[in-house]
Amino acid sequence: MPAPKKLDLIPEEVRGWLREELTARGFADIIDVTEALNFRLEEAGLEIRIGKSAVGDYSKALKDQREAFSIAETLLADMDIEAEGELHKVLMQMIATSAVHMINAVREKDEHLDPKDLMSLGRMLKDLMSSSGMREKLLSDERDRVAREATEAAEAAANARFDAAIDAAEQEARGPGEKGLSATAVATLRREFLGLRS
């Protein structure tokens, strides 16, 4: 099993600071960031020194990850929810394929799978599945919204037809002082509001 990377040995809060610092500097100034990192580690009483190539590799990985997220965000913004479901299927297949390649590569070298790699794959699958669940919820919410709007539109149309039918019925009402609607008015109400023929 390969030795852990030095950056994996530093405390999480220092690694978080490193991520923020590299991002703030546009993933550049590797030498200055490395010096600041080593100063922080020394200040914390840790006897570990990180080289600029390790910080550079980490910076490149962060930048690549950020660009990948940006591209994915752009793609998803241009897609409808149904097309996003197809993308989830493709991503799941890619992750499964990566896992198989990783396992085969380890097996060929007669080594053991690095637990961090397994955790990373597991996290990707979990995030993707969570995202898929959110997509399903969004799709369900969208269907509910469309159905609600259709119901509201139908009710508004029925109310408008009813009001128009009442107006027409009042014009056909019996003479002054008489109560009730004439047979013609009732037929008009049935026809206009209920859609029935008398």
In order, the DSSP letters of 93-136 are HHHHHHHHHHHHHHHHTT----HHHHHHHHHHHHHHHHHHHHHH
Could you read off the pLDDT of 40-59 as tens digits, one per residue?
A: 999 989 888 999 998 998 88
pLDDT of residue 88: 67
- Residue 61: predicted pLDDT: 85
Q: What is the pLDDT of residue 193?
A: 65
Q: Is 161 exposed, middle or buried (0-12, 13-18, 19+ CB in 10 A)?
A: middle
User: How many angstroms separate the CA atoms of 150 and 157, rounded?
Assistant: 10
For the chain, list residues with pLDDT below 70. 1-4, 72-73, 75-86, 88-89, 113, 125, 128-135, 138, 166-183, 185-187, 189-190, 192-198
- Tens digit of each residue's pLDDT (9 = 90 or more) over 2-42: 566 788 888 889 988 999 999 999 989 999 999 999 999 99
pLDDT for res 198? 45
